[in-house]
Chains A and B, each alone.
Chain A
Amino acid sequence: MEFDTQLLYAHDQILLALMIFVIMLGMGASLTIDDFRAVARKPRGVLIGFISQFGLMPFLAFSIATILGFHPAFAIALILIGCLPGGTTSNMFTYFSRGSVALSISMTTASTLLALLMMPVLLKLYTSGFTSQITASMQAAGTEAEFVIPTGNIISSLILVLVPVAMGMILRRKSPDWAKTAEDTAGFVAIIVILYLLGTAFIRHGGLFLRTPVEVYIGAVGIGLTGFLFGYWFSRLVGVMPLFQRAISLETGIQNGPLAFAVILLSFREPVQSQMLWLAILYSTFIVLTSSVITLYYRKKGRFDYDVYRNTVIHNRLFGPEYVTHYPEGFLPPRLVRDPSQGNSPSQKR
């Protein structure tokens, strides 16, 4: 499919930029220097998350795009989404899925920094086939230009986006009250803007929803779902606790959507920009739905091991760090008992 008109008008783009600013500010407001230090202190979980996020996810995106035979612009967008770092949304979903929020935050911070390095490399690696397709079609249409992934632009737009994050972190240091407000507002703003974009797209280009090929919908929904699925089972195979498994799963599937908008707006031009944006909008919409469902499922499934975890944490908090909770035999499932890195109870070292 091709776009006959621009998807977003200038004022929409300003709105989008504003949203990105607010969300990144909110993200920064939820972070502290300590979160970065925590990554250095406990690198194992973050490392597994890193492999899952930058190893699995781009590959999944590439595979989906190839298998479903995506139009190159959509394919590049999907791979771009696959290469993104995690956002703060995943921290909230992890919290409600009874996963490890600390790990989720560590992974978000680590991946956001590492994205500066990883995104250009991965994009180049996975999109080369698709860019040559675009070049070919452009040349067939008569232009002499060659389509290349604007690596420099991507890096500079990533750095540009990190500015409000840093501002948010400073805000948090200066005024925790404002920081909390910024955090709460960010999520609200994101939902409003995404709904606005969907709404306007519906009104202006009513046929767009119909004209979008089915496989694009499948890809937009599937990239998140496969991310959850592979993240979950990959970390399970490596042998992490259910608590961290849920965090890694959600962090893998949920990408930093606003960052995708920023990179696309700042680094790409037509004829691919509108299509890429459209996919990013679809992804951002569906990921909220799929991760809500997954979160509810994890929340139910993880109830028991989370209760065990909380109970032991509170025992250690109140009865002293030396206290070990001895559950009667048969109460804990073998997996929680046998975990080699942990004590009798998950959070307690032996």
Chain B
Amino acid sequence: MRHRIISENLALLYQGAAEKFGALPAFAIRESPLQWKPVSYNELYQKGLDLATGLIDLGVQAREHVGLFGDNRFEWILADFGVQLCGAADVPRGRDVSDNEFCYIIDHASIKVLFVETHEFQERIISLKDKLPALREIILLDSNASPLEGVRKLKDVCEQGAKLREQGDRRAEQRIAGIKPDDLFTLIYTSGTTGHPKGVMLTHSNMISQIRNIPGCHNMNDRLLSVLPIWHIFERVIEMYTISFGGCTYYSSIQTIGEDMRNVEPTFMASAPRLWEKLHEKILKGVKASHPVRQILFHIAYFLSRQYNASTYFITNKNLKLKQQAWWKRFILLPFHLVRWTIVLPWYGFFNAAVLERIRLGVGGSLVATISGGGALPIHIDRFFNYMGIPVLEGYGMTETSPVISVRSIDNLVVGTVGPPIPETEIRIAHPETGEILYPNKNLPYGGMSQRGEILVRGPQVMKGYYREKELTSITLRDGWLHTGDLGIITYNNCLKILGRCKATIVLSSGENVEPEPIEMRLQQSQFIDHCMLVGQDKKYLGALIVPALTEFNQAGFSEKTLEELAANPETYKVIRNEIHRMTSVSNGFKRYEQVRDFRLLTRNFDIGKELTNLYKIKRHEVENRFNNIIGDLYSQKSKK
């Protein structure tokens, strides 16, 4: 906390960081595995001022919306600096968007100046230009690509700005002074799961409140390895947070993450659950491939760690508490846990040092904490990493709350929850249909803990509203309370646990409500299932659409080369059916109506940007539309039998 810069707006944050951290590297760009290019805080700020001046010279007004379309690269950050320093707001978006969405966003946000990342991107925009009369300037980020006609290079704009600044142009400083806390710093269009994109208005004070309230203790020695899409709000808040304490952000990518983790030795990471699943798989594979004696040592170590941590959680009251535990139960169990803890401690200490440390070295060895967000982290992955000694802090948030609502901290690590709300943030649990407040509610036992309902949030991070969507804003934001549309409960140790989306709930014709997400997550733990989605709204039973994992089937001796061939093989169905039975049996704690009775194999994997969001969440609506026939078939056939 001591080293964090808290300023009034982001432009002042950038300025303060340049003054305070000067020559320290702010960002590092990968050129080859062991060759990275550092950019210092000073350099970045100066370049940002040049670009801001260049933009002002191009006619960008204060509070104007500037488009920023592209994926992870250093110039993206520079462009963001430029936009913030000239008092404007950026409208970011990745490459994976359809042409229609592009036009919609540019038109809806009245974008006049637009940054595009690559050569292909500029071609796409140019071809759409007829539909976009308001678009005046296009600036190309990639310095290696040659700009088409009517497109400027980022470098040229910067140089023009630098020239002006040399002549004494100080308009950027004036703009910085004119930024008000309530001004937008970004307008993020979320594709959401339904309808056209919505522009989320986030203000400087939203973001500054996040920097102020995110728990954690970091300083200039910290290294952040970045893999999330750069324009995603989760990635942005982590980057701003890193700037506030003077750490360095190293840009990696999904393809090189393993290598980069070992070279950069990050102290801190933020990523989506998918990355942890991949790492988990990789670690287990590494263990399987190692020497038999070391395999045994690993299993002993993991066993001890589980025993040790389970007791630690119990003793320190950090176990997941969905039900109130009678005091006498704890009284009786406590001595047993204390004894187990004491017996296991020395053994755990040794194995932790000798065996688990090797595993930790595989991910750099310096990770103090990692944050997982943007989707639910499967509980077994969560436990695995925490037992491994790599604290994974799961957080919860959404673009509308810029984004962090709650996150586990190292001192308050309750596995299975998303931690307590961050400071200055209030949470309510409301009944999804009646809207009755269930938590906090004095009339209910324990003030409403363990009551399930929709999560409502109020706090300084809540967005200003949806841009030019009054009606939608008034539905989502009522009396300052943001209706998240997520189902959750408050546990008995004051942490929030997320259960799923309100709208995702499948109501069977029998009237039973099924939360599909936990079941899907359970099914995806099977090595043979890549993705799956449950269906069955208003039907008698649950059905599933499943994308089988081709590589795993090949390893298991199946010779099929494509998903089509795999889907045609009845043996595949047998394997998957067995997996479903194994994973969701009644003995595994699933209720009868929660069982998948029938399923169909899909012949095409889910794509990011289409059926999956960038953080690998399923867009149910899209999948349902796309595979409508298959879903129909799933239920019609069965009824014939």
Contact = CB atoms under 8 A, between A and B. Distances in A.
Interface of A: 92, 95-96, 177-178, 180-181, 184-185, 187-188, 191, 292, 304, 307-308, 310-311, 314-315, 317-320, 323, 325-328, 331
Contacts of A315: 25, 38
Contacts of A292: 349
Interface in B7-39: 20-25, 28, 34-38
Contact of A319 (B38, B290, B294, B350): B38
Nearest to A325: B24
Contacts of A327: 24, 220
A96 B265 contact: no
Q: Which 5 A-B pairs have the closest CB atoms?
A: A307-B221, A326-B23, A318-B36, A311-B221, A181-B291
Interface of B: 20-25, 28, 34-38, 219-223, 246, 250, 263-265, 267, 290-291, 293-294, 297, 349-350, 353-355, 357, 366
A308 B35 CA distance: 20
Given A304-B221, A326-B24, A328-B21, 16 more contacts: A177-B291, A181-B294, A184-B354, A187-B350, A188-B354, A314-B263, A314-B264, A315-B25, A315-B38, A317-B263, A318-B36, A318-B250, A318-B263, A318-B264, A319-B25, A328-B24
B74 to A, nearest CB: 14
Nearest to A177: B291
B221 A184 contact: no
Contacts of B21: 328
A292 B346 CA distance: 10
A92 B38 contact: no
Contacts of A187: 350, 354
Nearest to B247: A311
Contacts of B354: 92, 184, 187-188
Contacts of B355: 184
Contacts of B353: 92, 96
Contacts of A320: 35
A328 B264 contact: no
Contacts of B220: 311, 327-328, 331
B30 to A, nearest CB: 9
A317 B34 contact: yes
A184 B297 contact: yes
A187 B354 CA distance: 8
Contacts of B36: 318-319
Contacts, number: 77
A310 B365 CA distance: 11
A331 B250 CA distance: 22
A184 B264 contact: no
Contacts of A317: 34, 263
B291 A191 contact: no
Contacts of A311: 220-221, 223
A115 to B, nearest CB: 25
A278 to B, nearest CB: 22
Nearest to A190: B350
B391 to A, nearest CB: 16
Contacts of B221: 304, 307-308, 310-311
B293 A184 contact: yes
Contacts of A308: 221
B294 A180 contact: yes
Contacts of A331: 219-220
A327 B24 CA distance: 6
Given A92-B354, A184-B297, A310 B265 contact: yes
B469 to A, nearest CB: 45
Contacts of B28: 318-319
B265 A314 contact: yes
Given A181-B291, A184-B293, A328-B22, A191 B38 contact: no
B568 to A, nearest CB: 42
Of the candidates A96, A177, A308, A325, the one having the most CB atoms from chain B within 10 angstroms of its own CB is A325
A153 B632 CA distance: 88
A326 B42 CA distance: 12
23 contacts: A95-B357, A180-B291, A184-B354, A185-B297, A191-B350, A292-B349, A307-B219, A307-B221, A307-B222, A307-B267, A310-B265, A314-B223, A315-B25, A315-B38, A318-B28, A318-B34, A318-B35, A319-B37, A319-B38, A323-B38, A326-B22, A327-B220, A328-B220
Contacts of B357: 95-96
Contacts of B267: 307
A319 B37 CA distance: 6
A219 B360 CA distance: 37
A181 B293 contact: yes
B297 A310 contact: no
Contacts of B350: 187-188, 191
Of the candidates A180, A314, A318, the one having the most CB atoms from chain B within 10 angstroms of its own CB is A318
A187 B353 CA distance: 10
Nearest to B38: A319
A129 to B, nearest CB: 38
B246 to A, nearest CB: 8
Contacts of A188: 297, 350, 354
A345 to B, nearest CB: 10
A325 B28 CA distance: 13
A311 B250 CA distance: 13
B429 to A, nearest CB: 39
A338 to B, nearest CB: 19
A125 B23 CA distance: 57
Of the candidates A96, A180, A184, the one having the most CB atoms from chain B within 10 angstroms of its own CB is A184
B240 to A, nearest CB: 19
B152 to A, nearest CB: 31
A282 to B, nearest CB: 17
Contacts of B22: 326, 328
Nearest to B23: A326
